[in-house]
Chains A and B, each alone.
Chain A
Amino acid sequence: MEIIYLLFIVLLAAFLGFELIRKVPATLHTPLMSGSNAISGITLVGALAAAGAEQSLLTTILGTAAVALASINVVGGYLVTDRMLSMFKKKEK
């Protein structure tokens, strides 16, 4: 039952993703990519438990490294996307 429920989430999220992204115009494709860099840093959420729970030394080390890498994506991704999007301006009439 649990697996079926997870697969349902997979299916719905995939379709939703396609519908959402299809509407992003070509001019924003680079910010979309750096923005999805940031979003893929969601691995951070999973890594937190690995780094902070009471487990073997190896698990803690691996988890901490995962936290560091995912943090690069989250912080760097959102900041650079914001920097880019601030540059997009409409023509002044």
Chain B
Amino acid sequence: MNDIITIINIAYVVAAALFILGLKLLSHPDTAKKGNFVSSLGMLLAVVVTLLDQQIISYHYILLGFVLGGAFGAWKAKSVQMTDMPQMVSLFNGFGGAASLLLGWATLNGLQGSLLGAQTAGAFVYITLFFTVLVGGITFSGSVIAWGKLSGTMSSKAVVFTGLRELSILHLVAMVVVAYLFVTDPTNPVWLYCAIGLALSFGLWATISIGGADMPVVIALLNSYSGIAASAAGLATGNTILIVTGLLVGASGLILTNIMCKAMNRSLMNVLLSGFSKPVEAAGKIEGEVKILPAQDAFYVLEAAQAVLVIPGYGMAVAQAQHAVRELQSLLEDNGCTVDYAIHPVAGRMPGHMNVLLAEADVPYDQLYEMDDVNPRMENYDVVIVIGANDVVNPAAKEMKGSPIYGMPVIEAYRAKTVFVLKRSANAGFAGVDNPLFFKDNTRMVLGDAKDTINTIIREFGDE
């Protein structure tokens, strides 16, 4: 074997080890930053040794692509708001998918260009190339739609029309047919174009029919796809570092997808196909009346509280209220009160969204608790403040059989002594499900923009 190829392959082994070590260090907040750095070293090593490859004879196109992409990526990374992380990750998932698609296409074109290549490449290469293009294309168009929905460029509502199910089945059948034609007649580029078209179209329809509240699942799944596409490209080109690394990402996305589905008590199929089913009829009326409390009066209750729990949701991100929440936390702590936070796995629009927002506002991560940690000691909290969250604290998940969210694990805020719900209006939440929490005896609704409400309370503290 050629010496340089041996060196490259040894470097790939080291790079893979660095990626694995990096992910291992990511299992704790204290070491995570180091882990990210170790992982980036692995990437640097892999890229640098690849440039030693003797097949690479010209560097200016590589440099051009790297400078353009790198500059855009760096600008995006520096300028993105933390509240906008879901759409950025979504966009990057899409770029990853598109890169794999283009790599698959370029590889195929290279094979067709050389007579020797086209003859020696077996069915395995063509099958994996087809798979690369397909998964890459679905990831790209699906991610662009997810990005549009998350950034507000397009409506986040599920777009549903009759025939959507048939359309999807038609896509899947067409994919199988085109796959067969492509593998049996790989030199004909028409089948490749068909595959690209089908993949883009399928990603579009599959994502457009999913509503905003299910976005955490979709982002995680597309994250997984982007890794699987890279891995398939590795199989097609016989590049082991692509196979291994792509699969690490694929596994990561699948695990997150699974966590999100469990947290909503739904199967993946149910989330993906929910747009196809009819909306569930409301399961009976909720009795009682909503009690509204002005923000000024909420202050008096908080001033007397010993233990406060904050439950944030997507509404906190929308109102950009995390810094005000942090300020309120300091005032409460100075007042001799303990402040904890409870984060539901699907709060926000992506896994861990709330944690990052609170970290940005300087809330220490050891004050953030998971659902299962706070539920057993819910009675100990004098006040629970629900900020922009709805379904994740909805007692209907426990009490109302037939409710669309029945069976979903929720943060049992209603068991605390007092519950403040900070909300724009007393209407039903995103999922359109009535929330009996609003009607409980110990619940007070503090209506208005969450940030304004908290700032009002903060001012009251200042006046003391």
Contact = CB atoms under 8 A, between A and B. Distances in A.
Interface string B213-249: 0000001100100110111011101111111111111
Interface string B42-75: 0100110011010111110110111011101110
A48 B64 CA distance: 11
Chain B CB count within 10 A is highest, among A56, A59, A75, A91, for A75
Contacts, number: 363
Contacts of B359: 84, 87-89
A81 B33 CA distance: 8
Nearest to B101: A66
- Contact-residue bracket for chain A: 35 or more
B20 A20 contact: yes
Contact of B106 (A62, A78, A79): A62
Contact of A42 (B20, B29, B92, B246): B246
Contact of A17 (B22, B59, B240, B250): B250
Interface in A46-76: 46-56, 58-60, 62-76
B96 A52 contact: no
Contact of A71 (B30, B32, B65, B234): B65
- Contact-residue bracket for chain B: 35 or more
Interface of A: 2-3, 6, 9-10, 13-14, 16-18, 20-56, 58-60, 62-92
Interface of B: 19-20, 22-24, 26-30, 32-33, 36-37, 39-40, 43, 46-47, 50-51, 53, 55-59, 61-62, 64-66, 68-70, 72-74, 76-78, 80, 82, 85, 88-89, 92-93, 95-96, 98-100, 102-103, 105-107, 109-110, 113, 124, 219-220, 223, 226-227, 229-231, 233-235, 237-256, 259, 343, 345, 350-353, 355-356, 359-360, 362, 364-368, 370
Given A6-B238, A67-B65, A90-B364, 6 more contacts: A59-B109, A63-B106, A66-B102, A67-B62, A74-B43, A87-B360
24 contacts: A17-B247, A18-B255, A20-B24, A21-B255, A23-B27, A29-B350, A33-B253, A34-B85, A35-B26, A36-B249, A37-B89, A40-B227, A40-B230, A43-B230, A48-B62, A52-B51, A54-B57, A68-B69, A72-B70, A74-B43, A74-B70, A82-B37, A85-B33, A85-B36
